[in-house]
Amino acid sequence: MIELKRATPEGHHCFFGYYDKSPWNLSKEYLLFGETTVYGRQPRENEPLSIGVVHLNTNKAEKLAVTPTWNFQQGCMMQWLDDECFIYNSCVGKDFVSKIFDLKTRKHMSVPKPVYAISHDKSIIMTVDFARIQQYRQGYGYLGGEFDPNRDVAIESLNLRTGISQTLVSFTQFFELGYLKLGQSYWVDHILFSPDDSHITFLLRNLMDDGGCCSRLFCCAVNGQNLRCLLDTGMASHADWFDNEHFCIWGRRQNTVRHLQSNRLIRSVLKPMIQLVRRTGVPNVVRAGLYGDAFLKINIHSGKISPFATHIPANEGGGHFTFDKSKKWMLNDTSINSQGNRWLMLYYLPSDNRINLASIYTPVAIHNTAFRCDLHPRWSPDNQEICIDSVHEGYRAMYIADISQIIRDVPL
């Protein structure tokens, strides 16, 4: 088991956010964090999140900015633009924006759109309607914005170098393609750039009558062209790009469940059972066999789908995962068990070897809430360390672990 070292101040509720971004700057001199006094509930409108950095050479924390625009799952989307500048979301009145902070000059620069994802070359922002997300999926949107149910923009881009913004994808396109119907509640989230910044993937989601959520995986060119659905079984979750042609996701291969949910008569009969299953969980044999839930590698051009990381049971899949630069290692976590414990693991893809790093406790009472604390494991820029958010000491904090020895000791 690894040693987890707390990086943020003792007793302070600190966290970073999502697993697809790194809190380290490239030189590993600073670690970004957010700090709040809110615990055990959702943040209220205008409650602030302090943004700061931990100076890793001295372990001292420094607060640099404040934003009212944040949530517990993805924070305020703060991420590094270079070794000294980072971007985060904020608001001006009812309008969501983003701000860039320069550690060297200690100055802010405003950007007229909020950031959801940013290209690897740090030139293009992708943004979504955070007020729409807040309306339909609390814990991932922001309070304080104006929700317009008729707004047609699904994804918008902004070029940081030219200042030009444009609509890439509209909801009208999904209606025309038959993926959405009038009267549904829908939104887009989880945008990810391909390694070469030529494509993006994202999830189109809509609420269902039985209380569930239908998720479809889409891909398009970075200019919005060649929009296509890569997975249409109703369940698509955490994901990462493997290379420029292959996208990996925890998803469902079978359409059985979606077909049952689409039949009104069957749905009315099965609704109590479906809701019970969502509360209590699905046995591994059902998830793997009937549902077909698995780690899936998808060729974005041919659509070919193949499973990977098959030695992780289906009832332990669905965690947050990312690959290292070599694409040999996958960093992953699981959902909690009935006692509140979950595994943090490394998975060596060439030999399908799972290495459990730590069993980490999360109170069961908060796990199914919008203010839960998922581990959201992340790699350091050199892939020698990992960082997680956790509440196992009784408050939110960020922890770092050195995994360099584990990686060196695995036979090649």
Q: Looking at per-residue confidence, does 267 or 65 come out higher?
A: 65
The pLDDT value given to residue 1: 84
Q: What is the pTM of this model?
A: 0.93
151 plus 206 within the same structural domain: yes
Rounded mean pLDDT, 145-171: 97
The pLDDT value given to residue 21: 97
272 plus 160 within the same structural domain: yes
Q: E strand or H helix at 15, and its extent?
A: strand 13-15
Question: Residue 291 — very low, low, confident or very high, per pLDDT cuts 50/70/90?
Answer: confident
Residue that is last in its domain, among 228, 263, 282: 282
Residue whose C-alpha is closest to residue 305's, from 248, 352, 347, 356: 248
Q: Is residue 209 part of a domain?
A: yes
**Residue 49: is it exposed, middle or buried by C-beta count within 10 angstroms (0-12/13-18/19+)?**
buried
Length of the chain: 412
Question: How do residues 78-94 score in pLDDT, each as one tens digit?
Answer: 999 999 999 999 999 99
242 plus 143 within the same structural domain: yes
The pLDDT value given to residue 209: 86
The pLDDT value given to residue 210: 80
Q: Is residue 331 part of a domain?
A: yes
Residue 110 pLDDT greater than 70, yes or no: yes
Residue 3 pLDDT greater than 90, yes or no: yes
Average model confidence (pLDDT) across the chain = 92
Q: Is residue 146 part of a domain?
A: yes
Q: How far apart are CA 285 and CA 292, in angstroms?
A: 10
The pLDDT value given to residue 272: 59
From start to end of 304-405, where are the E strands?
305-308, 321-323, 329-333, 341-348, 353-361, 378-379, 385-390, 397-402
Print burial letters for 249-288: b (CB count within 10 Å at least 16), e (below 16): bbbbeeeebbeebeeeeeeeebeeebeeeeeeebeeeebb
CA-CA distances (angstroms) from residue 209 to 206, 233, 267, 395? Answer: 10, 17, 9, 36
Residue 412 pLDDT greater than 60, yes or no: no
Q: Is residue 68 part of a domain?
A: yes
Q: Are 30 and 24 in contact (CB under 8 A)?
A: yes
Q: Are 217 and 199 in contact (CB under 8 A)?
A: no
196 plus 252 within the same structural domain: yes
135 plus 215 within the same structural domain: yes
Overall domain count for the chain = 2
Rounded mean pLDDT, 253-280: 56
Q: How far apart are CA 73 and CA 15, in angstroms?
A: 9
Q: Which backbone phi and psi does 48 adopt, to 5 degrees?
A: -85, 150
Q: E strand or H helix at 90, and its extent?
A: strand 85-92
Residue 263 pLDDT greater than 60, yes or no: no
Residue 63 pLDDT greater than 70, yes or no: yes
Rounded mean pLDDT, 312-326: 92
Q: Is residue 304 part of a domain?
A: no
124 plus 270 within the same structural domain: yes
336 plus 409 within the same structural domain: yes
Residue 411 pLDDT greater than 70, yes or no: no
Cα angle for residues 214, 241, 386 (degrees, 5° grid): 105
The parent domain of residue 412 ranges over 1-82+320-412
CA-CA distances (angstroms) from residue 356 to 12, 160, 168, 351, 409? Answer: 28, 41, 41, 15, 15
Question: Residue 275 — very low, low, confident or very high, per pLDDT cuts 50/70/90?
Answer: low
Residue 282 pLDDT greater than 80, yes or no: no
123 plus 236 within the same structural domain: yes
366 plus 266 within the same structural domain: no
Residue that is last in its domain, among 252, 282, 312: 282
The pLDDT value given to residue 76: 98
- Centre a 10 Å sphere on the Cβ of residue 316 and count the other Cβ atoms it contains: 18
The pLDDT value given to residue 315: 83
134 plus 211 within the same structural domain: yes
Q: Is residue 225 part of a domain?
A: yes
Residue 189 pLDDT greater than 90, yes or no: yes
273 plus 333 within the same structural domain: no
39 plus 132 within the same structural domain: no
Rounded mean pLDDT, 380-403: 98
Q: How far apart are CA 386 and CA 377, in angstroms?
A: 7
Rounded mean pLDDT, 209-217: 91
Residue 265 pLDDT greater than 70, yes or no: no
Q: How far apart are CA 358 and CA 354, in angstroms?
A: 12
The pLDDT value given to residue 269: 53
Q: Is residue 111 part of a domain?
A: no
The pLDDT value given to residue 256: 58
**Residue 92: is it exposed, middle or buried by C-beta count within 10 angstroms (0-12/13-18/19+)?**
exposed
Rounded mean pLDDT, 197-224: 95
Q: Is residue 312 part of a domain?
A: no
Residue that is last in its domain, among 282, 307, 329: 282
Residue 261 pLDDT greater than 60, yes or no: no
State whether the Cα torsion 282-284-288-290 is positive or negative.
Answer: negative
